[in-house]
Amino acid sequence: MFEKLFSLKGRTAWITGATRGLGLQMARCLAAAGARIATNSRTSDAATAAMEEISGEFGVTTYGAAADVTSESSIADFVKAATERLGPIDILVNNAGINFRKPTVEMPLEEWQKVIDINLTGPFICSKAVLPSMMDRNWGRVIHISSMLGTIGLAERPPYTASKGGLVLLTKTQALEVASKGVTVNALCPGPFATEMNKALLDDPVKYEAFRSKIPLGRWGELDEIDGAILFLASPASSFVTGSCLMIDGGWTAQ
């Protein structure tokens, strides 16, 4: 029964930005379930190294290369190369993302634009690149990595909250567009995890504690606590789930 629900053998999963942090963790989890794995980041060496590590550890075929999620032509080239090596993409995890923390009145337009481009336009470009093939084959999973900050506000995060909130509604719209073709589209909404993106918070004991104290479970998330949620949404276990947003935030947004 567990094999039928959660096995990804024979599937190809593309996780954007799986060179570190939550992306690398999710890539490892999907590889452990048997999927072939592809990733892109802006750094060629990091993408190649992460994929070599995963193929060595889990014995699955992998492909890593440089491709910026904001470039439609780079992403088209990446998808072509990944498909040639691993077969068509069955599962897309739109994970690549960035954050700049400043109040609106201090935020340069360039920083606003960059966050929107990577966090919101990137997932649009990547999903557009693989949805036609998924629909043709009548099976597919698109999982957008939003955030608890896609559902609530937080000061000093104008483009981050706007981009992640946009992803929540992109999830629902795309889910409606492709439901009749056997493809599901869902979002994961993590709370605070200790990754490079949160270095400024992790390095500041006052900020770290301010976050910790707001989490009902009383602690930041451990990286492997994303595994159950991503495996559920990527696998046959979630076959009747689409357009949903799964919170993994220790209860922060329940308040």
Ligand X SMILES: NC(=O)c1ccc[n+]([C@@H]2O[C@H](COP(=O)([O-])OP(=O)(O)OC[C@H]3O[C@@H](n4cnc5c(N)ncnc54)[C@H](OP(=O)(O)O)[C@@H]3O)[C@@H](O)[C@H]2O)c1
Catalytic residue numbers read 160
The reply on whether position 158 binds ligand X by CB under 6 A is no
Q: Select the span of 19-27, 57-65, 102-110, 227-235 touching ligand X (CB under 6 A).
A: 19-27
User: In this chain, which stretch among 2-10, 35-43, 100-108, 130-138 interacts with ligand X, using CB under 6 A?
Assistant: 35-43
Q: Which stretch binds ligand X (CB under 6 A): 20-28, 78-86, 103-111, 239-247?
A: 20-28
Measured between alpha carbons, how far is 140 from 27 in angstroms, rounded to an integer?
17
Residues ≥6 apart with Cβ < 8 Å to 82? 12, 14, 38, 63, 65, 89
Look at the block and give the residue holding tokens 């994929």.
51
Degrees to nearest 5, angle at CA 189 with 229 and 75? 90
Interacting stretch for ligand X, rule CB under 6 A, among 12-20, 85-93, 175-183, 228-236?
12-20
CB 144 within 8 A of CB 248: no
Binding mask 112-131 for ligand X (x = CB under 6 A): ------x-------------
Sites for ligand X among residues 161-190 (CB under 6 A): 190
If the CB atoms of residues 14 and 193 are measured against ligand X, the closer one turns out to be 193
Alpha carbon of residue 183 to chain centroid: 17
Q: Which of 79, 91, 129, 145 binds ligand X (CB under 6 A)?
A: 145
Q: Determine, following the binding rule CB under 6 A, whether residue 42 of this chain makes contact with ligand X.
A: yes
Q: How far is CA 202 from CA 18, 208, 243, in A?
A: 21, 6, 32
Among 64, 97, 140, 166, the residue binding ligand X under the rule CB under 6 A is 97
CA angle (65, 68, 72) in 5-degree steps: 110
Total chain residues near ligand X (CB under 6 A)? 29
SS3 content of the chain, % helix, strand, coil (to 5): 55, 15, 30
Which positions from 186 through 215 interact with ligand X, judged by CB under 6 A? 190, 192-193, 195-198
Give whichever of 124 and 139 is closer to ligand X, judged by the CB atom: 124
Q: How far is CA 56 from the centre of its chain?
A: 23
Assess 17 for contact with ligand X (CB under 6 A): yes
**H-state helical runs in the chain:** 2-6, 21-32, 44-58, 72-86, 109-116, 122-137, 158-178, 199-202, 205-212, 227-234
- Contact flag: residue 101 with ligand X (CB under 6 A): no
| Cβ–Cβ < 8 Å for 160, 201 | no
Interface characters, 57-76, with ligand X (x: CB under 6 A)? -----------xxx------
- Interface residues with ligand X (CB under 6 A)? 16-17, 19-23, 40-43, 46, 68-70, 95-98, 118, 145, 147, 190, 192-193, 195-198
